[in-house]
Amino acid sequence: MYFCFADEQWVPNMPTADRALQEPNGLVAAGGSLDPESLIAAYTGGMFPWFNDDADAILWWSPDPRAVIDPLHPRVPRSLAKRIRSGCYQLTADTAFDQVIEQCAKCRPGSEGTWITANMSRAYRQLHLEGYAHSIEVWENSQLVGGLYGVAIGGVFFGESMFARSRDASKVALVRLAGVLADRGFGLIDGQVSSAHLSSLGAVDIPRKEFLTRISSLIKRPGWPGLWTLE
């Protein structure tokens, strides 16, 4: 398995985030595969795959800065807190992983294509079977109306994607996720790249160097093994 850097140097092992380019921001390397070993190595090294069907190879990224959320301190606006208290949604974990990733992969209005390709979906489904990838599901009248998925290693949850088909459904999922992660000693939720959606929930940008330092210790925590439950 080989990876190619921007200078066309080929190396046989997973690259390190300190090789990331400034432009495009965070591109580390191209190549390799989406097997579980490579994905876990990437996440523990502060990288993640992101590419579309037009790419000639898998692209690995470590942007600077990095958007993160402290599980102890998500931002919960008054309107969102009211919706959570209303009990209009029911939440579960790891009961519909395939459905969540399928919904996340659907093209959003105004977007062209999706980065959650068929190969990407298969890769994260395999990570789910091996106990690394997890989902939070939001239900309304027995219908799946929102959710998110990501990868948990030690005390870090590396968020990948979320979706909502009803108002605030994905936000409710993330707030609930933060609460259960805080209870289990997680220290960080990785949001990858800042967005208005994440910022509204308390995400802040930190330098890549700080991010790498923090996850290097957090991934050594016991974490949350096995299938998750919100009971």
pLDDT (tens digit per residue) in 9-31: 666 678 899 989 999 999 999 88
Mean pLDDT of the chain: 92
Between CA 16 and CA 161 the distance in angstroms is 23
- Is residue 231's pLDDT more than 90? no
For residue range 53-81, list pLDDT tens digits in order. Answer: 666 789 999 999 999 999 999 999 999 99
Instruction: Determine how many CB atoms are found less than 10 A away from the CB of residue 46.
Output: 28
Establish whether the linkage from the previous residue to 24 is cis, with ω within 30° of 0.
yes
- pLDDT average, residue stretch 189-218: 97
pLDDT of residue 51: 86
Please report where in the chains the tokens 């997890």 appear, as a residue. Answer: 134
pLDDT band at 111 (very low <50, low <70, confident <90, very high): very low
CB 69 within 8 A of CB 182: no
| Higher pLDDT, residue 74 or 106 | 74
pLDDT of residue 10: 60
Ordered by where they begin, the domains of the chain are 3-63 (3.30.70.3550), 67-218 (3.40.630.70)
